[in-house]
Structure 1
Amino acid sequence: MSSTVPQAHPLLRTGRAWPGVPDYAWVLLLALGGALPLQAAEQNDAQTTTPSTEQSASDTRKDNPSATALGKVTVTARRREEDSQKVPTPLTVLDGATLESQRISKVQDLQQVLPSVNVAFIHARQSSIAVRGIGNNPASDGLEGSAGVYLDNVYLGRPGMAVFDLLDIEQLELLRGPQGTLFGKNTTAGVLNISTRAPTFTPERTIEVSGGQEGYFQGRGTVSGPLTDSLAGRVSAYHTRDDGYITNVHDGNKLNGGERQGIRGQLLYKPHDDFSLRFINDYNEEDSSYGSMVVYGAAPKFWQRAALVGASPISDPGRDKVNIDSRQHVSVHQGGSSVEANWKLDNDFTLTSISAYRFWNFTPANDEQLNVSAIRNTGVQVNDRQFSQEIRLASPTGGAFDYVLGAYAFNQNLGNRTFTYYGPQADRYLLGTNLNALNDTYSKANGKIETNSFALFSQGTWHLTDKLDFTAGLRGTYEEKDAKVQRFDPVGGAAVSGAAATVRRNQLGAYDSGDLSLYSFAPSALLSLSYQFNDDLLGYASLSHGEKSGGVNLAVASAPTAGADSLLVGPERANDAELGIKSTLFDRRLQLNANLFWTGIHGYQATTYYQPAGSSQLVQVLSNAGDVRSRGLEFEATALPLRGLTLNFNGSYNDVTYLSFKDAPCPAEISTQPGAPATCDLSGKRVVGASKWIANLNGEYKWQLENRFEPYVSASYAYRSEAEGTLDDSSLSKIPGYGLANFSVGLRHDLGDGQLDASVWLKNAFDKEYYLAAFASLNGSYTASVGQPRTLGASLRYDF
């Protein structure tokens, strides 16, 4: 790495900043980019030792194609650095280089590389991550997810907080099964732990530009390095835009596109080996038309009502066309700060403190899928703030017993505003006749909830022999939630009386739930035995119990007719059993891991539907769906069969069914018929969104040419079998199975003090039609979120 100051920074040589990226991002990037080489020259190799995670960017990009053995993967799944092959728990690890080479830059794409994961995505608020079929609860503002997401050891209280570009990622870890004896927030399905790259005391700089079809453009940049002998900094920024891939035939505009941009700044203070302080600030924003969904399936009632108001919805559930007359828009602003301090105490104990604040603001505008004005605009605006504090004490290792103790506190204040602007055709479309009850009215409801959660957790491992370990963990969580829901009288519309006034009052009338409260104490526990048969083979078995507190439905929903208590949902409890092996074979040329699992969920929390008396509209409600069983097999393999060729293969068989769900909503093909039952029994049916078979295969082959040229080719294929699209088990919303193939070809070349990487890539190469989620809508219709079609693009990256 040269220690001289460049004549012109590469970001300046482009002639202009990336459009839309805030000016402050570039000021920080350029300032730090100029300061780092200066400091490197002043240090003059003063740093003689560097942690393994602090390699230069050019080194991390130049994997040795002559390697003949797989390297060790270090994880912190048990809150201390360990070889992933020695951790007795189902665990999948992806490093940042893998995500970059596979072009995985969004959370909704993670199901293409992870086993047992389903991501339901419509937009940032209506998104969810499910593990082993558990956790498909999009748009539940008053309820945490069954699968927890952590960013740099900070729990994200809303799934939408993870909907941003995956920028400058160091490593991603997926832990499956109930978690809580080592993590801040307790979860019943699993944890997705995302770690970003930390500041380095060796200068790093990266700039990358990508372009592709449908107006796709992405620019990313990172600078990192020392500011003083004990202080390092890192700044990363991105800007992404695309036109969208759904055509609105009403006006010819493209939908499901827009702009995203963000910046992350960090400081690492390390005065000596026994103390470090990492300060992270990040900000992300989105201005897009995501949330645009196609009409996927519908009962006859939908088509009859559409004809009644003169609408022409696209009847073919093709992935690229809608016919709507109103705006489709999403605005997201989010960010936060965290401070992580680590002290090495006497006798090699480690004390860790993580303090964090995050915010998330979401504002939508949604059409009712028609090209006439029945509903002009509807949606739920959300403003969320959270604070968290975690303290952990880790004992030294190497003795007969080691352990981790911790305490966690979490506060969340969330408010939402549910709004609907009805158009002049509202009555005919929603009621089937014109009473002027809903036409041209505006309805608004507010919800708020404050959550306070406190926990003590611990986990210890007894090394009974040199090969046999026994691990036990225990957690106690106390949680309280205070909430309120209030709907205001509608405004606008014609003066009404009689039947019209009754309809307006029943559907839009004022309502106040009063103060709602939930209190709970939830235990979590783990028992595990592992046996190291030899250095390359680990076997393990475990039993665990996890609990997640109840929640509140932050919408009026069923409350006016069923009472305010119908807005409350009870806790979700999980019991899990695991049996697995982890092996490294053929002189570290093959890693093969597999595990069997069985999970029983009691009080499974789900988003269901309810039609209040006197109302023509379905409303979402949270409920305890009953008992669920998830069982199956998961496997992972990484192989180095030839010099320069790396293959990864993972997958799962997952049988997820409702053991008992007697008061479930009926599918539209039943509920829209005269005399239809109020509820249906879904016991024995498959859980929504859970594919039975998942398989992901990817590989890269690279070789060395003369003059330091390194060509490479990579390919991936991700398959998932069919899944239930909506909770009501409707045949109209089933999501068929699909497979996605991605390819890329590129050339790396050592240029100057860095490495240049140019590539051409093709995503969804065979233009497969697929869907990320389905949604029950009005009048027995179902809409679906469409996956991205075939996209051809190119990227140019320089690490120096």
Structure 2
Amino acid sequence: MTLRVLFLAGAAFLPLAASPALAAENPADAAPAEQATSVGTGQSDNDTIVVTARRRAETAQDVPLAISVVGGDHIDATGAFNVGRLQQLTPTLQFTSSNPRNTAVNIRGLGAPLGLTNDGIEQGVGIYVDDVFFARVASSTFDFLDVKQIEVLRGPQGTLYGKNTTAGAINITSRQPTFEPEGRFEISAGNLGFTQAKAAVSGPISDTLAVRLAGSLTRRDGTIYNVTSGKWVNSQDNLGLRGQLLWKPANGFEITLAGDYSHQDPTCCTQVYVRTGATQRPLNRQYAALAAAQNYAVPSTNPFDRVTDVDTPLRAKNDIGGASVRAKIDTGIGTVTSVTAWRFWSWDPSNDRDFLGLPITAKSNNPSHQDQYSQELRLSGETGKLGYTLGAFGFYQKIRTNGIQQQGAAASKWLINPTNALSNDPTVLDGLTARNTINFKNTSAAIFGKFIYKLTNAFSLQPGFRLNYDKKEGSYNSVVTDGAGNLVVFKTDAAGKSLNSKVEAAQLAVLAPQSFLANFSDWNFSGDVTAALDVTRDIHLYATYAKSFKTGGINLNGVPADAVTGVPLLELATIKPESVNHFEVGIKTQFLNRKATFNLTAFRTEVKNYQTQVSNFAVGNIRGYLANADKARSQGVEFDASFRPSDRFNIYGNGAYTDAKFVSFSNAPCPPELSGGKAQPLDANGVPTAPADLPGTPGGISPAQCDISGSRLPGVSKWAFSYGAEGNVPVKLFGKDGQIYLGVDGSYRSDWSSNASPSAYTNVDGYALTNFRLGFRAEGRLDIYGWVRNAFDTQYFDQLAVASGNTGLIVGNLGDPRTFGGTVKLTF
């Protein structure tokens, strides 16, 4: 199987699909009418919520897998206008982001390593918009635009989706073109200069052709004041456009051409000073002494004063877009679907990587551009007792990154040991520059399938399979020059002894040249099986076992190297695939005449060769790289519940207990409090001959590695909940019959670790967020409401991070403060 074959097959399908002789109406595949839902369960007033998680139209309760469904109207009402805010409605979803590129989306604590994004790896949570896979999480930071509903699938999904995903999938469905004229207009305004406008219109061009156009604009002032520039930073400035053209010449046959473009240009992104913690560096190389040596003090040691003094201009330009052709035809053997897509992502940042108002790192930018091409073919149907989905998927991705890091005038005093006279010479490091060129090509192809065999009307077995091929090719090249433009390179004699001058040695300790090629390729066969039992019309049981994988990858941020020769350790350039064993059982129930829904899931996922982020706390190019932990495991229990006694009131609650930890990781990097000291002496077998000192001992002995087996995985809380309710009373306002309603939505997550190796300094405290809305809606035509988000002004962190150099500086991303405003929505 090759990508060329798959793309040609997709192209060949289009003229075949145009044949009316093959067309047949398939009502089950028709798009359902939009309904108001209780978040998570997908329950509505008339119980007609339909999901397409399994590539067929089914009610949410009939699907034998853990799934949360959020309707587009509830997304709008709660202000969850991007994936980051979606986690407040779905407690098993975790989202962390220090900027769009450095974003991670996890489910049940699994998916992507928390920390600096590495383009050479896969994401474990697949993000799909109208059947199109988004390869990089960074390209999914767009505002939701004209969304009909979102399905969050938990657990491996490789036998139903084109790209293999081991932790779950986020399936986003847009509102489609209609042959009846309709429109939606919405405008919001609030504090912090928040304005948001959304519009969508749809209607026929002819009897067989319909069009839908949608756009959104979001702007908001920053939430952090920069005393250096006099500007508010971490703002929002987002534009989104989408167009769709639907051709439906006959029942059972349709082609949709879609294109979209999103542009983000905020003054963003920075972290603020949170605290300092003792490391094992000598005291004169820790934060307090280094700051005092330059008479420096941060503008506030209270992060929630929301001030910074970063002295590098901030920029986070993000351009995302693409086009797709989706064709469907109903045949005598089922529905054939072809999805051909191209997507791009361009990233143009400017960061202040030292997070301070000192010119230590003057530039730290890694502009990047991605193009991806995908082709998926699927056949879904049923005959007698057998239902089936068979698919083929081809994917090609190309990424090029041209980065720069440049040190500033304060770098020598901050980065060179104060006992070295060179630390007092600013010219040693001022202007020292590394220019990095990174190229990456990713090719993937797969065939997959899922079957449903009904042994009885109530009991079915549902096996699935996936045959997958992946190939990755990457190159990394970093060239270092001093302030005068001269090359800085490693120099050694025939015996391998360094010939570098003291100045060069000091420069190489900060930024080191490096160049290597790396590649990875592998075949993998995986599968799953589900047993599903309909105990009654409203009680459903299921049990699933899945053997899955996440393909290997390449470290493309640089790798550790020999300290004298600079030769990269190429054994660290590639990462082994993850091997996943997943077990899940669940029950889905409805009662009180289907006015109440309660679903319960228990799961256990074991991952061998778990891919995790490693930080060596270095100052230079290698900010972090990936390595394999021996084994990780995530297990827990989840519930989704809702109650809609009448169309006047509904209440919902979702929760998760997740126990996610490293089962075995004996050679992990040490946390900052155990790093930066003297090297632990080892014998010929690598066994320590002297004990390490206690954490935070200045100038003490640091262990070469730390055993963090049994510690929890980063980014995931043990407890997480989302909950809400809405009530309404009938009234007549503005001459229209309608309802006045009051709604509340809240979420809670317990504390979690923000560093790959758990640290006392990077544990994020738990927090609860509460949102209110009060408004008037008239028969689905007019909706006017006021809203307050984070109503109690909870102070919380989205993420904490260890600043480079291991000086003990801890910085953080602040969660949004209380915001309030109003929204007017018109539909026709």
Q: Same fold (TM over 0.5)?
A: yes
- What is residue 640 of structure 1 aligned with on the other side? 644
- Range with bigger deviation, 312-321 or 255-264: 312-321
Residues in 1 aligned to 2:28 and 2:67: alpha-carbon distance in whole angstroms? 27
Q: Deviations over 1:386-433 (max 9, x none)?
A: 000000111235x21111111000000011223112111111112234
The 5 A counterparts of 1:308-707 are 308-313=293-298, 314-318=300-304, 320-347=306-333, 349-367=334-352, 368-396=354-382, 399-433=384-418, 434=423, 436-493=427-484, 498-513=501-516, 515-559=517-561, 560-610=566-616, 619-673=623-677, 674=699, 675-706=701-732, 707=736
- What is residue 14 of structure 1 aligned with on the other side? none
Which residue among 241, 255, 269 is the counterpart of 1:291? Answer: 269
Is residue 418–residue 555 contact of structure 1 (8 Å, CA) maintained in 2?
Answer: no
Which residue among 228, 252, 270 is the counterpart of 1:250? Answer: 228
How far 1:437 moved relative to its partner?
3.3
- What is residue 778 of structure 2 aligned with on the other side? 749
Residues in 2 aligned to 1:196 and 1:145: alpha-carbon distance in whole angstroms? 23
Residues in 2 aligned to 1:154 and 1:69: alpha-carbon distance in whole angstroms? 31
Q: Deviations over 1:674-727 (max 9, x none)?
A: 221232111100100110000000122123223413211110110000000111
AA of the residue aligned to 1:584? Q
Is residue 109–residue 713 contact of structure 2 (8 Å, CA) maintained in 1?
Answer: yes
Is residue 575–residue 626 contact of structure 2 (8 Å, CA) maintained in 1?
Answer: yes
Give the match's secondary structure for 2:730. Answer: coil
Is residue 145–residue 158 contact of structure 1 (8 Å, CA) maintained in 2?
Answer: yes
- What is residue 40 of structure 2 aligned with on the other side? none
> Normalised by the size of structure 2, how large is the TM-score?
0.86
- What is residue 26 of structure 1 aligned with on the other side? none
Q: Deviations over 1:39-62 (max 9, x none)?
A: xxxxxxxxxx9997475x9x989x
How far 1:319 moved relative to its partner?
5.8
AA of the residue aligned to 1:276? E
Which residue among 745, 748, 771 is the counterpart of 1:719? Answer: 748
Give the match's secondary structure for 1:410. Answer: strand
Is residue 414–residue 448 contact of structure 1 (8 Å, CA) maintained in 2?
Answer: yes
How far 1:85 moved relative to its partner?
0.8
Distance 1:70 1:771, change over 3 A: farther
Is residue 602–residue 638 contact of structure 2 (8 Å, CA) maintained in 1?
Answer: yes
Residues 1:783 and 2:811 are matched in the alignment: yes
- What is residue 732 of structure 1 aligned with on the other side? 761
Q: Deviations over 1:307-363 (max 9, x none)?
A: 22333223223261222222122111110011110011124x111100000000111
- What is residue 36 of structure 1 aligned with on the other side? none
- Range with bigger deviation, 760-769 or 516-525: 516-525
Residues 1:135 and 2:111 are matched in the alignment: yes
Residues in 2 aligned to 1:206 and 1:731: alpha-carbon distance in whole angstroms? 49
Is residue 120–residue 136 contact of structure 1 (8 Å, CA) maintained in 2?
Answer: no
Distance 1:467 1:494, change over 3 A: closer
Distance 1:719 1:319, change over 3 A: farther
How far 1:68 moved relative to its partner?
9.7
AA of the residue aligned to 2:523? F
- What is residue 237 of structure 2 aligned with on the other side? 259
Residues in 2 aligned to 1:489 and 1:718: alpha-carbon distance in whole angstroms? 47
- What is residue 79 of structure 1 aligned with on the other side? 55
Is residue 312–residue 323 contact of structure 1 (8 Å, CA) maintained in 2?
Answer: no
The 5 A counterparts of 1:151-300 are 151-300=129-278
Give the match's secondary structure for 1:276. Answer: strand
Residues in 2 aligned to 1:705 and 1:51: alpha-carbon distance in whole angstroms? 38
- What is residue 797 of structure 1 aligned with on the other side? 825
Distance 1:50 1:265, change over 3 A: farther
Give the match's secondary structure for 2:505. Answer: helix
Residues in 1 aligned to 2:827 and 2:612: alpha-carbon distance in whole angstroms? 46
Is residue 405–residue 435 contact of structure 2 (8 Å, CA) maintained in 1?
Answer: yes
Residues in 2 aligned to 1:671 and 1:280: alpha-carbon distance in whole angstroms? 51
Is residue 319–residue 769 contact of structure 1 (8 Å, CA) maintained in 2?
Answer: no
Which residue among 708, 713, 719 is the counterpart of 2:737? Answer: 708
The 5 A counterparts of 1:96-111 are 96-111=72-87
Q: Deviations over 1:258-284 (max 9, x none)?
A: 311010000111111120111110000
Is residue 432–residue 480 contact of structure 2 (8 Å, CA) maintained in 1?
Answer: no
How far 1:610 moved relative to its partner?
2.6
Residues in 2 aligned to 1:318 and 1:207: alpha-carbon distance in whole angstroms? 36
- How many residue pairs align between the two structures? 738
Residues 1:126 and 2:155 are matched in the alignment: no
Is residue 310–residue 372 contact of structure 1 (8 Å, CA) maintained in 2?
Answer: no
How far 1:534 moved relative to its partner?
0.7
Q: Deviations over 1:546-581 (max 9, x none)?
A: 111111111223144552331211111211101110
How far 1:219 moved relative to its partner?
0.9
Give the match's secondary structure for 1:395. Answer: strand
How far 1:588 moved relative to its partner?
0.9
- What is residue 42 of structure 1 aligned with on the other side? none
How far 1:643 moved relative to its partner?
4.0
How far 1:490 moved relative to its partner?
1.6
- What is residue 44 of structure 1 aligned with on the other side? none
AA of the residue aligned to 1:215? G
Q: Deviations over 1:514-570 (max 9, x none)?
A: x31101112221111111001000001110011111111112231445523312111
Q: Deviations over 1:246-301 (max 9, x none)?
A: 11233432111031101000011111112011111000011112321112232341
How far 1:224 moved relative to its partner?
0.6
How far 1:443 moved relative to its partner?
1.4
AA of the residue aligned to 1:648? Y
Distance 1:708 1:424, change over 3 A: same
Is residue 348–residue 366 contact of structure 2 (8 Å, CA) maintained in 1?
Answer: yes
How far 1:373 moved relative to its partner?
0.9
Is residue 188–residue 573 contact of structure 1 (8 Å, CA) maintained in 2?
Answer: no
Residues in 2 aligned to 1:679 and 1:68: alpha-carbon distance in whole angstroms? 53
Distance 1:364 1:303, change over 3 A: farther
AA of the residue aligned to 1:158? R
Residues in 2 aligned to 1:50 and 1:403: alpha-carbon distance in whole angstroms? 14
How far 1:642 moved relative to its partner?
4.2
AA of the residue aligned to 1:737? G
> Normalised by the size of structure 1, how large is the TM-score?
0.89
